[in-house]
Structure 1
Amino acid sequence: MNRRHLLASAIAATLLAMLAAPTAWAAQGEPPAAQPSAAPPLDVQALLYDPKTPTGGNPKGDVTIVAFFDYNCGYCKQSSPALEKLVKEDGKIRLVYKDWPILAASSVSAAQLALAAHYQGKYQAAHKALIALPSRSMNDAKMSAALKAAGVDLARLSADLDANAKEIGAILVRNNEQAEALQLPGTPVYLVGPYKVAASLDYQGFKDVVADARKRASEN
């Protein structure tokens, strides 16, 4: 059994325990209605190491952050720059991007475009461009303009989107299944080591929860 499988096995029990754990709600809103008690099984391997899911940061980082987000989510847009800044400055964080388009039809289009950009090695550039767009600007023309400005080849993007539509759709289905298994309330949600945070964090907030995750790991 390799190191990755050992890590996934060690984290599995913690993630499953999170299903019954209290969630940190965003201060700006109220908790949603109670979730059903029975959740679908969680595939921890797919959650952490799906080979088709884009990742950033240090692939050998000592802390993994799994980010569930929607490109129309204002709180996601608010917290994304702080997360990216910490991942870059820390140097020991592995970031897993979970496109979870649940708010609007344009959320699905944006997620498909971002995932299609991955085939030309431009997922992170596309993600940064799309997450920075105001929600009112999430239409085809403005998304295309933002992606072009970010260096994405639009002709190849269109071709990759057509050629890989089935695979991109399967990624989004898996992401949704994982969100349901974790009984996530909406976006954003960040899984930081053993912690589940359903809130828009600032830089210090991300830094603190990463420090807590490292401390927790050192105690185990």
Structure 2
Amino acid sequence: MTRRSVTQVLALAAAQYVIAPSRADDGPTETDVSKEMILRDPATPSSGNPKGDLTIVVFFDYNCPYCKQSEPALEKLVKADGKIRLVYKDWPILTPDSIKGAQWALAAKYQDRYDHAHFAMMGIPGPRIPAERMREAIAKSGVDMDRLDADLQAHGDEITKLLRRNLAQADSLGLQGTPAYIVGDYRVTSALNYDGFKRVAADARARAAKK
């Protein structure tokens, strides 16, 4: 999918959930793509230590096999380190079903089950996972699906705007595909193993200490 097609599909998805028509001022602003919003958008899910000395931002797609390959190593580092704040940027650019998966995960956030939905979909092996299979995995993770659908209906406008911000932020950073990571001042655009994540985290801290 191109960036243009992602935007078009998001617009169609918005219409599906009775979201108000887009206005000229609905598009991402300069503030939306600021460093502060990339790191601390209040609508973006995060985990790890909220007061950590290092923030890692991960841009991912639920149909990206490389994202799935590297996520266990990243989660292991966050848990072992104890001082990392991890920010999840749902960036569904591969298929229309990726957008559905991102919408469901972000809707699950309203029942404090984003992590359940996220890990359920990331745990499905292979690329090009159909939406029906994603939904089945979310349901098995313990997410209340009736509430999820109701929250998606009620908060669809907010979710669509967040996905648009994520897309704009990725574009502002010059990202070309998933996975992509912002680790302190470093940008990493390939999947890493545990040692790779550990090394770049150490480099980012060392660089910050010199400032």
Structure 1: 4+ residue segments shifted above 4 A:
none
Output the amino acid matched with 1:201. L
> What is the CA distance between 1:174 and its match in structure 2?
0.2
Aligned counterpart, 1:75? 66
CA RMSD across the alignment: 1.4
Q: Which runs of 5+ in 1 are unaligned?
A: 1-39
1:172 is the counterpart of 2:130 = no
Q: Which runs of 5+ in 2 are unaligned?
A: 1-28
**Are the equivalent residues in 1 in contact too, given 2:95–2:128 (CA < 8 A)?**
no
> What is the CA distance between 1:134 and its match in structure 2?
2.5
Instruction: For residue 164 of structure 1, give the secondary structure of its aligned residue in structure 2.
Output: helix
Number of residue equivalences: 181
Alignment of 1:128-147 (within 5 A): 128-135=119-126, 138-147=129-138
Match of 1:195 among 186, 195, 205: 186
Once the two structures are superposed, residues 85-137 of structure 1 have per-residue CA deviations (whole angstroms, 9 ceiling, x without a partner) of 11111110001100000000111000001100100001111111111112457
Match of 1:106 among 94, 97, 106: 97
1:96 is the counterpart of 2:87 = yes
> What is the CA distance between 1:215 and its match in structure 2?
1.1
What is the rounded CA distance, in whole Å, between the counterparts of 1:141 and 1:188 in structure 2?
23
> What is the CA distance between 1:150 and its match in structure 2?
1.4
**Are the equivalent residues in 2 in contact too, given 1:59–1:94 (CA < 8 A)?**
yes
Identity percentage of aligned residues: 56
What is the rounded CA distance, in whole Å, between the counterparts of 1:70 and 1:126 in structure 2?
13
What is the rounded CA distance, in whole Å, between the counterparts of 1:163 and 1:174 in structure 2?
19
> What is the CA distance between 1:142 and its match in structure 2?
1.6
Once the two structures are superposed, residues 35-65 of structure 1 have per-residue CA deviations (whole angstroms, 9 ceiling, x without a partner) of xxxxx95411211111100011000000000
**Are the equivalent residues in 1 in contact too, given 2:64–2:127 (CA < 8 A)?**
no
Using the size of structure 2 for normalisation, the TM-score is: 0.82
